[in-house]
Amino acid sequence: MSDGALISIVALIGWLILAGSAVASFRLGWSKILQLALVWFAIFAGLFVIADFFGATLPN
């Protein structure tokens, strides 16, 4: 594993901790957190399907 990959993993874990603490600060119940997670998943999945439908690709 290269140094760049290790730094990326550590940064990703840091961002996940930051996002998790932000969600925890709202003191929502588990059902509300699951509901919000499913809504965000549906949004991103829908955008992915729309982009795939129109043939969108990332530039090289």
pLDDT, one tens digit per residue, over 1-60 is 788 899 999 999 999 999 989 988 999 999 999 999 999 999 999 999 999 999 988 787
* pLDDT for residue 3: 85
CB 26 within 8 A of CB 35: no
Q: How far is CA 38 from the centre of its chain?
A: 11
Dist CA 3 CA 24 (whole Å)? 32
pLDDT computed for residue 60 by the predictor: 73
pLDDT, position 49: 96
